Structure 1
Amino acid sequence: MEYQSGSSLEELAAFVAVVEANGFTAAARTLRARKATLSLRVQSLEARLGVSLLVRTTRTLRLTHEGRAYLEHAQRALGAARDADAVVELAKSKPTGLLRITMPASLAGALFEGVVVPYLARYPEVSVQLDTSLRTIDLVREGYDLGLRVGALAGSSLVARRLGSCTGGYYASPRYLEHRGTPKRPEDLDRHATIIVPRGDRPMEWAFVAGSKRRSLVVSPRLSVSSFELAARAAVAGAGVLRSPRYFVAPYLATNQLVPVLRDWTPPSVKVHAVFPPGGVLVPKTRLFVDAVAAWFTRNDDDV
Structure 2
Amino acid sequence: MCISSPADRFLVVQDIFRTRTAELADVVLPATAGWAETEGTTTNSERRVQRVRRAVTPPGEAREDIDIICELAARLGHDWKYADAEAVWNELRSVSPDHYGMTYDRLAEHRGIQWPCPSTERLEPSCLHGRLWESDPALRGGPAPFGLVQHDPPVDLTDEAYPVRLTTGRRLDSYNTGVQSGGFASPLRRGEYIELCPEDAERYGVVVGEEVRVSSRRGSVVAPVWIDPALRPGLAFMTMHFPDEVDTNRLTIEANCPIAGTAEFKASAIRIEKLPVATIVR
TM-score normalized with structure 1 length: 0.21
The answer to which structure has the higher helix fraction is 1
Structure of greater relative contact order (alpha carbons < 8 Å, 6+ residues apart):
1
TM-score normalized with structure 2 length: 0.22
